[in-house]
Amino acid sequence: MSVSVKQPFEKVVEQHGGTVLRVCRVLLGVHDAQDAWSETFLAAMRAYPGLPDDANAEAWLVTIAHRKAIDVLRARSRQPAPVEAVPDAPTGLGVPGASDGDLWQAVRALPDRQRQAVAYHYVAGLPYAEIARIIGGTTDAARRAAADGIKNLRKNYPGAALKGAPA
Amino acid sequence: MTVSPNPVSPDYFAYPSDADTLARLRAKLGLTAEAEGLLDIAYTTVDSPVGALLLAATPKGLIRVAYDIEDHDRVLDALSQRVSPRVLRAPRRLDAAARELGEYFGGQRQVFDLPLDLSLSRGFRQLVQRHLPQIGYGQTRTYGQVAELVGNPKAVRAVGTACATNPLPVVVPCHRVLRADGTMGGYVGGSSAKATLLRLEAA
């Protein structure tokens, strides 16, 4: 067995597909998350042979998702779509006893960097140094953006503070 | 482990339907990757009387058939390293191979008519593997006879190695090659798989 072996891409999709979907959902809302997922993995598959064997695949995928999400947001702002007011909330799914609509509204109301930092730290579990590399700025700034994001989420969506995640 | 004033759980952004959503997105990724020419290796698994078989194909053709005892994960790792890491479970490219194997195991097919990608073997091994389909359904040859068939009668052991390293068992019929004393000899899928195939073809 060699130390670092490039896994078949299927394994990358299997291991990180769920995380990337949730990250895309936080960045873009339920509506655009699936398209962003598809574009992220297609771009990743294209670039995969050049990825170093020992690279952190999850951080790499999140970086790609970050860029795809920015593309989507730019396209959105260029053409203020008349249907963009459609509620993001899926019906009959999600957190019992909570209104998903409120959660997504709270997430959407966050400044971009806070939403990104929350997604990359609390959903993808990336360290702040890695997040700083993705969104720019210092590690401390990334940490602050995540903390502020969580504070704002708690304020606007109190249900979000119930559970702990490993630090 | 105390829970400190604390973060949003990642679960807040998960839905119970995520498994279905991901299955759909992964199937779509396979189709899009194929359309964009990125799917270097597509694979699937099929059930058979000799256990689960892994089928893998490049755009050129079927490149690998693997028995369960070869460990499908290891086989995929090897393909990833030797051919390309752009590997996805994407059954569509394997539809024809799966259908022909089904017909073969059902006793309704004697010859495979599939494009093959023999690039996993080189030199003498590939030469032997190219010749093996000349041994017809229900027939057998000895390692020595195959050595003669490829024009190198002394290369009996090398023929044995070529059979043992056949990347396309069942489809390239190395199971039809026996020892000179009439015993079966080794087989990549194990001797009981070899016996099953020979019994099937003798029926």
Model confidence pLDDT, tens digit, residues B1-48: 433 334 456 667 788 889 999 999 999 999 999 999 999 999 999 999
Provide CB contacts within 8 A for A133, sequence distance 6+: A63
Of B14, B32, B89, the CB nearest to A22: B14
Q: Which helix (H) or strand (E) holds B67?
A: strand B62-67
In a domain, A120, yes or no: yes
Calpha distance B118→B127 (Å, rounded): 10
- Which CATH number is B123-202 given? 1.10.10.10
Among residues B76, B87, B2, which one has the least CA distance to residue A10? B87
Question: Which chain A residues contact residue B89 at CB under 8 A?
Answer: 10
List the CATH number of the domain containing A147: 1.20.140
Q: Are B63 and A72 in contact (CB under 8 A)?
A: no
Confidence of residue A89 (pLDDT cuts 50, 70, 90): very low
Is residue A110 in a domain?
A: yes
Q: Are B27 and A37 in contact (CB under 8 A)?
A: no
Average pLDDT over residues A102-114: 88
Does A126 have pLDDT greater than 60? yes
Q: Where are the domains of chain B?
A: 21-105, 123-202
- Please report, for residues A122, A140, B133, B139, B197, the alpha-carbon distance to residue B178 in angstroms, rounded to integers and kept in the order given: 61, 70, 15, 10, 13
Q: CA-to-CA distance for B120 and B60, rounded, in angstroms?
A: 12
What sign does the CA torsion over B14, B16, B19, B25 have? negative
CATH number for the domain formed by residue range(s) B21-105: 3.30.160
Report the SS3 class of residue A21.
helix
| Contact at CB, A34 and B38, closer than 8 angstroms | no
Instruction: Kindly report, residue by residue over B42-92, the tens digit of the pLDDT.
Output: 999 999 999 999 999 999 999 999 999 999 999 999 999 999 999 999 999
Burial of A119 (0-12, 13-18, 19+ CB in 10 A): buried
Q: Is B145 exposed, middle or buried (0-12, 13-18, 19+ CB in 10 A)?
A: middle
Give me B84's structure tokens.
């390309």
What distances in angstroms separate CA B149 from CA A11, A115, B186, one per listed residue? 42, 69, 20
Residue B163 designated active-site? no
Give the CA angle between residues A2, A19, B57 to the nearest 5°. 50
| pLDDT class of A31 with cuts at 50, 70, 90 | confident
pLDDT given for residue A78 in this prediction: 77
DSSP H or E run through B25: helix B18-35
Distance, in Å, from the CA atom of B59 to the CA atom of B43, rounded to the nearest integer, reads 12
Residue A3 in domain? no
ipTM of the complex: 0.90
- Cβ-defined contact of B10 to A26 (cutoff 8 Å): no
pLDDT of residue B183: 86
Distances (CA, A) of A114 to A89, A144, B86, B90: 21, 8, 34, 38
User: Is pLDDT above 80 for A135?
Assistant: yes
Per-residue pLDDT tens for B104-142?
999 999 999 999 999 999 999 999 999 999 999 999 999
Q: Rounded mean pLDDT of chain B?
A: 93
Q: Is the pLDDT of residue A94 over 50?
A: no
* Total domains present in chain A: 1
What DSSP assignment string belongs to B133-166?
A: GGS-TT--EEHHHHHHHTT-TT-HHHHHHHHHT-
User: Where in the sequence is the domain holding A96, given as residue range(s)?
Assistant: 9-160
Q: If you average pLDDT over residues A105-119, what whole number do you get?
A: 92
State the helix-helix crossing angle for B156-164 and B123-131, rounded to 10 degrees: 80
Tokens of residue B20, six digits: 């279905």
Compute CA A48 distance to the chain's CA centroid, rounded to the nearest angstrom: 20
> How far A129 CA lies from chain B's nearest CA (Å)?
18
Strands B41-46 and B53-57: what pairing? antiparallel
Tell me the pLDDT tens digit for each residue of A19-30. 999 999 999 988
Which among A11, A37, A45, A62 is the top mutation candidate for probing chain B, defined by the most B β-carbons within 10 Å of its own β-carbon? A45
CB A126 within 8 A of CB A59: yes
User: Rounded to an integer, what distance in angstroms lies between the CA atom of residue B45 and that of residue B30?
Assistant: 15
pLDDT at A4: 63
Q: What is the structure's pLDDT at B8?
A: 56
What residues of B are in contact with residue A161 (Cβ under 8 Å)? 6, 8
Residues of chain B whose beta carbon is less than 8 angstroms from a beta carbon of chain A are: 3-4, 6-18, 21-22, 25-26, 28-29, 32-33, 36, 38, 41, 43, 76-77, 79-81, 84-89
Phi then psi for residue B118, to 5 deg, are -90, 15
H or E element: which one contains A45? helix A30-47
**Counting every residue, how long is chain A?**
167
Which of the four pLDDT bands, split at 50, 70 and 90, describes residue A167? very low
Mean pLDDT in residue range A15-40:
94
What radius of gyration do chain B's Cα atoms show?
21
